[in-house]
Each structure stands twice: as structure tokens, then as C-alpha cells.
Amino acid sequence: MAKMSALGKVKLFTPLLIQCRHKSKHFIQRPRPSHLDRRIFEAVTVPLLPEKIHDPYANCPRLRRRLQAVKEDVVQDEMENAYENYLMGICRRMLEENRMIIAFQLMAMSTREKVDIKRQLFLNGLKLKFVSNAIFSDTKWINLSPLLCSHNAYVVSPDVDISRVIKLTHKMPELILLGGLVNDQLFTREGLQRYAKLPDIDVLRGQLVAVLNATPSRTKSLLEHHQQTLSRNLDQYVKDNTEKS
């Protein structure tokens, strides 16, 4: 009984206001058209803003910089050219110092293979260079222009030793011999191979001297030939006659 009396003392919460909606649910996807006056008022007071055009320059700083560069082309050109000239100077000096420049068609290869090839050539006193084709324009090396398309590599050296280059690159399938510039003279692939087979310059000079000497000595022997035979015959004749008598 004690429990029942305890329950009777509890005060239940009763709110003062209770909200309830007796209309149908509000349909958000297709709202009801508003009142005519309101619609007219809204139509009249719509702001007339200019149409927004997408401007890539507004969002992209790189494009903005480029646009600025185009506007101020004089300053930008000078700035760029200074650095380009510096790089071109290095390349041109490299080309001027080396008397042998041999061009190769490059095949796709990994950096490791490239380094291996570079090292192998370097150990033999040769250097592998990768130069942009644009470097050669307006220089004396423009004669190489037929070779200057696609991917090129150049083996350069101050000393002329083509046979060594051909022997080394023969085992490298990544490098295909195209031609070259040796002692300011253009060579095709066949020409280079023929050049490589030639012996040393001193041997060739010796051969030239021998050839030059051969002609006069032959002329001399031809001129003397008849007199010698005549004198020999006469000697024999004299001998025969003295023996008989």
C-alpha cells in the first residue's frame, strides 16, 4: 500500500502548448505558385546583372603570368634569351672544341642503360651528348640539318678516332650510326665506315711518297731499257768474236 501512495504523489509533465499540422505535407519539389501580386512584384524586381563569362585567366596564375609576358614581350624576351644564350654558349663551345662530332639515332632506353653507355664511352676518351636540334640553327653546323630531326645523340671528342667509336658503338643497339662531322667535313655512315678502315696518316703519307717515286723511276728504266739491251747484245757479240778468233 505504501507503494501505491508513493505513485499518487508523482506529478506528470503536461506542456502548455501542443503544435499539430492538420494540412497536407508541404511539397518542396513542386511548390505551389505564389499569389499573383507577389509574382508580379518578384518579376519586376529581378536584378539585371551582367552575364558571368568563364574567364580562365582569373583562376589560373600560370595563364595570368603568360598573358602578362605577352603584354610585356620585350622585357620577358630579354630575360629568357639571356639564360638561353648562356646554355647555347656552353653547347657551342662544346661543339667548337671537338673536332669529331658523330651523330647517332637514339632508341628508347632507360636512364641506367644511358649511364652505362656514357661511362663506357667516357673510359675510351669519348663523350655522349644530348643536344637540342634548335642549337644548330644559325651556326656553321647547320650543314648537319638533314640529321637534325627526331631523337639524336652525339659522340664527341677532340681527337679523331673513328674506328674506336665504330668499334664501341657496334655493340650498342641503342645507338644507330647516321653520319658525322669530322674535321669540318660531313660524312655519311658509309663514308665514316670507310674512313675507319683507313690506316694511320703516316702510313698513308709513306704510300703516297712511294707512288710519287714510282713513276719517275719507271720512266727512267723505260728510257734506259733499249740502250742497256743494245749494250748487252754488243758485249755478247764482242765476246763471241774474240773467242772465235
Partner 1 sequence: MGGLARALGLQLKRVDLMACTQITYSFDPFAANVKSVRQFLFALSPTKTRSTNYNCSYKIDVKSDRSSPKIHVKFVDGHEAIFKTENLSTYDIVRNFNQLCEQHSRKK
> Can you give the binding site for partner 1, defined by CB under 8 A?
103, 105-108, 110, 146-147, 149-151, 176-179, 188-191
CA separation for the pair 242, 223 (Å, rounded): 30
Q: How far is the CB of 157 from partner 1 (least distance, A)?
A: 21
Instruction: Yes or no: say if 109 and 174 are a contact pair by the CB < 8 Å rule.
Output: yes
Q: How far is the CB of 201 from partner 1 (least distance, A)?
A: 24
Is the Cβ of residue 186 or residue 204 nearer to partner 1 in the bound state? 186
Q: How far is the CB of 140 from partner 1 (least distance, A)?
A: 17
- Residue 51 φ then ψ, to 5°: -70, 135
Category of 169 on φ-ψ map: left (φ > 0), alpha (ψ -120 to 50) or beta: alpha
Is the Cβ of residue 127 or residue 189 nearer to partner 1 in the bound state? 189
Is residue 195 helix, strand or coil? helix
Is the Cβ of residue 140 or residue 239 nearer to partner 1 in the bound state? 140
Q: How far is the CB of 84 from partner 1 (least distance, A)?
A: 21
Label residue 180 exposed, middle or buried (CB < 10 Å: 0-12, 13-18, 19+): buried
Give residues with Cβ within 8 angstroms of 127, minimum separation 6: 98, 118, 121, 155, 156, 157
Is the Cβ of residue 45 or residue 150 nearer to partner 1 in the bound state? 150
Is residue 156 helix, strand or coil? strand
Q: How far is the CB of 103 from partner 1 (least distance, A)?
A: 8
What residue has cell string 636512364?
Answer: 111
Q: How far is the CB of 189 from partner 1 (least distance, A)?
A: 5
Is the Cβ of residue 89 or residue 146 nearer to partner 1 in the bound state? 146
Three cell numbers written together for 237: 757479240
Is the Cβ of residue 167 or residue 205 nearer to partner 1 in the bound state? 167
Three cell numbers written together for 135: 642549337
Three cell numbers written together for 140: 656553321
Residue 43 belongs to what H/E stretch?
helix 36-44
